């Protein structure tokens, strides 16, 4: 399986690397692996729904 870094995922999803780190630490991205203190995210992973936004709140209730 191919992996991407926090920085690559952040650029792809339009968020900060810190936000991606929160997603990983919270278990919100399936298939992530932490190796030697670095999160590895599957390239096929999709951005989790952001519950802080109006769109994210609407999607949670569906």
**Phi-psi sector, 31: left (phi>0), alpha (psi -120 to 50), beta:** left
Residue ranges per structural domain of the chain: 3-47
Going by pLDDT thresholds of 50, 70 and 90, the confidence category of residue 50 is: confident
* 34-43 average pLDDT score: 95
Global pTM exceeds 0.75? yes
Assess contact for 33 and 40: CB atoms under 8 A: yes
Assess contact for 48 and 23: CB atoms under 8 A: yes
Does residue 42 have a pLDDT over 90?
A: yes
């Amino acid at each position: 399986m191919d992996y991407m870094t926090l920085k690559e995922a952040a650029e792809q999803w339009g968020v900060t690397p810190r936000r991606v780190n929160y997603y990983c630490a919270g278990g919100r991205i399936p298939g992530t692996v932490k190796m030697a203190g670095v999160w590895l995210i599957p390239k096929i992973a999709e951005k989790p729904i952001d519950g802080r936004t109006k769109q994210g709140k609407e999607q949670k209730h569906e």
